[in-house]
């Protein structure tokens, strides 16, 4: 897979104007007001910063579409975007040229042509998020903007047992932000695992899609189970009650990462390697 990704980065043949290009984007969201471009001036977002860099390569304005919009402070390890190239450029130009214009906290890892029916958001079959919690008596001095923190001891086994109530297609109104604009509260969670790795407690969750603040709201309630203040079955009760006010507080944004997006095999996108904080698959 490394050779496959390298080929995509360094392919130097220009692609004709109008070619649809997909890219993997990695970013530290700490300094940004989320992914989505904002209409008011002075709002720094990942999308606006990325589009400015790509526009510099294209010499024409272009607009990108992403797999999932992340909130302020949330990080992207495997954000996928697409755009229709207005000018003839190679994969190498899109990757190397964009990175030369981007700040150090945003990187383009690969670019490749995709069929015209590919859409970064609507072609995605699943998204996977990872939530990282530093479970230490004192807040860590290092990586403070890349980890959440909980001083009370967390029982990852209890949290994992509680997380199994989330599996399947369910109404997630209990974990939905009031500002959520989705037309339906139903989502299908196919994986939710909680594990301890030293001082880190890791929540891994995959679903066909997510509601606004859904992962952070789930993380907050799972931590309530982990501290012993709630029983694992409480998560099932919350789902049945469909009342956001009964769940725990929303967990901080700092610990949340978009770590993978799954697409049909026919698009042949590169697999995403684990990142330095993401501790394996």
Active-site annotation, residues: 71
What Å distances lie between residue 186 and 129, 150, 200, 210, CA to CA?
Answer: 18, 30, 30, 9
Cβ partners under 8 Å of residue 157, min gap 6 = none
Pseudo-torsion of CA 155, 258, 145, 163, nearest 10°? -10
CB neighbours of residue 13 within 10 Å: 8
- According to DSSP, residue 36 is labeled S
User: Are the C-beta atoms of 74 and 257 separated by less than 8 Å?
Assistant: yes
Upper half-sphere CA count for residue 134 (Cβ side, 13 Å)? 18
Q: How far apart are CA 272 and CA 60, in angstroms?
A: 30
User: Are the C-beta atoms of 232 and 157 separated by less than 8 Å?
Assistant: no
Q: Give the helix ranges, DSSP H, for 112-245.
A: 156-163, 214-226, 233-241
CA nearest neighbour of 206 among 188, 223, 185, 219: 188
Q: How far apart are CA 64 and CA 50, in angstroms?
A: 8
Q: How far apart are CA 122 and CA 56, in angstroms?
A: 27
């Amino acid at each position: 897979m490394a050779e496959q990704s390298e080929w995509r980065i360094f392919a130097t043949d220009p692609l004709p104007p109008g070619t649809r290009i997909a890219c993997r984007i990695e970013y530290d969201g700490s300094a940004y007001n989320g992914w989505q471009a904002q209409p008011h001036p002075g709002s720094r977002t990942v999308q606006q910063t990325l589009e400015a860099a790509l526009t510099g390569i294209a010499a024409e304005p272009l607009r990108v579409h992403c797999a999932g919009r992340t909130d302020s402070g949330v990080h992207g390890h495997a954000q996928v975007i697409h755009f229709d190239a207005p000018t003839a450029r190679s994969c190498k130009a899109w990757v190397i040229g964009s990175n030369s214009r981007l700040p150090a906290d945003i990187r383009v890892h690969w670019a490749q042509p995709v069929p015209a029916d590919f859409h970064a958001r609507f072609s995605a079959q699943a998204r996977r998020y990872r939530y990282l919690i530093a479970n230490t008596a004192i807040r860590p001095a290092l990586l403070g903007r890349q980890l959440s923190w909980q001083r009370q001891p967390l029982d990852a086994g209890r949290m994992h047992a509680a997380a199994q109530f989330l599996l399947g297609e369910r109404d997630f109104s209990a974990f939905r932000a009031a500002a959520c604009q989705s037309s339906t509260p139903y989502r299908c969670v196919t994986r939710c695992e909680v594990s301890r790795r030293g001082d880190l407690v890791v929540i891994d969750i995959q679903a066909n899609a997510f509601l606004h603040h859904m992962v952070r709201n789930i993380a907050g309630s799972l931590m309530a189970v982990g501290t012993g203040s709630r029983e694992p079955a409480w998560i099932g009760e919350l789902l049945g009650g469909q009342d956001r006010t009964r769940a725990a507080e929303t967990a901080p944004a700092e610990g949340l990462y978009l770590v993978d997006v799954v697409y049909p095999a026919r698009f042949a996108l590169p697999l995403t390697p684990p990142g330095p904080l993401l501790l394996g698959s």
